[in-house]
Amino acid sequence: MGLPQSGLWVKKLWVLLEVAVHVVVGKVLLILFPDRVKRNILAMGEKTGMTRNPHFSHDNWIPTFFSTQYFWFILKVRWQRLEDMTELGGLAPNCPVVRLSGQRCNIWDFMQANRPLVLNFGSCTPSFMFKFDQFKRLIEDFSSIADFLIIYIEEAHASDGWAFKNNMDIRNHRNLQDRLQAAHLLLARSPQCPVVVDTMQNQSSQLYAALPERLYVIQEGRILYKGKSGPWNYNPEEVRAVLEKLYS
């Protein structure tokens, strides 16, 4: 749950110091022990599929670690998690979102009776796109008993932010039209479920602490499953286990 406002800035300051130390130490270690640090990063990348992604070599993304852009992005993610408003069994935030047509609606509009609704938050990040087919298989296997919604949020690896080489060339969204245009790229992957975008105030991303990607299952307005934050712990197969258990 979110922290009281009185303690939030203290926590933010502490997180700022933690991230700064992490980046400085990481940069020093990368200079002194480059091979060992690269092995550790590759081991983490194995969890996201980055090391198996044919579109990326380690030279496309490892050199970006501990950069200034890396620092600001990690800080944003860590700060966002301090304001996480979700918990298992708790009420799922009914955030406003925008359909690709431009029509405004809310997350709960996609719930049907007592059917589970799977929320898939992400953008055109390598890990999100690499596991996109896993998510599509979930839809194919469980569409008769559950509903699915993709919520396109702010870019995790924008070309003018913490950029990876050989990634999609998408700049940070400066307005809603930019975000809608980026989300339309997912249609080429035939998502088989509705795609909406977060507001430019990033309301759903903030309240669900969804950056850079995250999975949830909600039912009748309550949170049944809260996936861990991506990219390291973004795992569509955990959703499969939840749905199988629900209807076993």
pLDDT, tens only, 81-102: 998 889 999 999 999 999 999 9
DSSP, res 72: H
Tell me the pTM: 0.89
Rounded Cα distance between 30 and 65, Å, is 9
What sign has the CA pseudo-torsion 75, 77, 78, 80? positive
Where do the structural domains in the chain lie, given as residue ranges? 5-247
- Give the pLDDT confidence score for residue 96 in this predicted structure: 97
pLDDT, tens only, 182-241: 999 988 889 999 999 999 999 999 999 999 999 999 999 999 999 998 888 899 999 999
Read off the amino acid at residue 180: L
Taking 3-state DSSP, the helix, strand and coil percentages for the chain, each rounded to the nearest 5, stand at 50, 15, 40
Average pLDDT for residues 61-69, to the nearest whole number?
Answer: 88
CATH number of 5-247: 3.40.30.10
- Give the pLDDT confidence score for residue 49 in this predicted structure: 67
Q: Report yes or no: 83 and 206 within 8 Å, Cβ to Cβ.
A: yes
- Give the pLDDT confidence score for residue 161 in this predicted structure: 82
Rounded Cα distance between 147 and 151, Å, is 13
Is the confidence at residue 120, as pLDDT, over 80? yes
pLDDT, tens only, 25-39: 999 999 999 889 888
Is the confidence at residue 1, as pLDDT, over 60? no
CB atoms within 10 A of CB 196: 24
Residues linked to residue 121 through DSSP beta bridges, in sequence order:
151, 214
pLDDT, tens only, 134-189: 999 999 999 999 999 999 999 988 888 887 877 788 999 999 999 999 999 988 88
Instruction: Show the tokens assigned to 181.
Output: 């245009």
Rounded Cα distance between 187 and 118, Å, is 18
Predicted confidence band of residue 132 (pLDDT cuts 50, 70, 90): very high
Rounded Cα distance between 20 and 215, Å, is 28
pLDDT, tens only, 45-57: 777 666 676 776 7
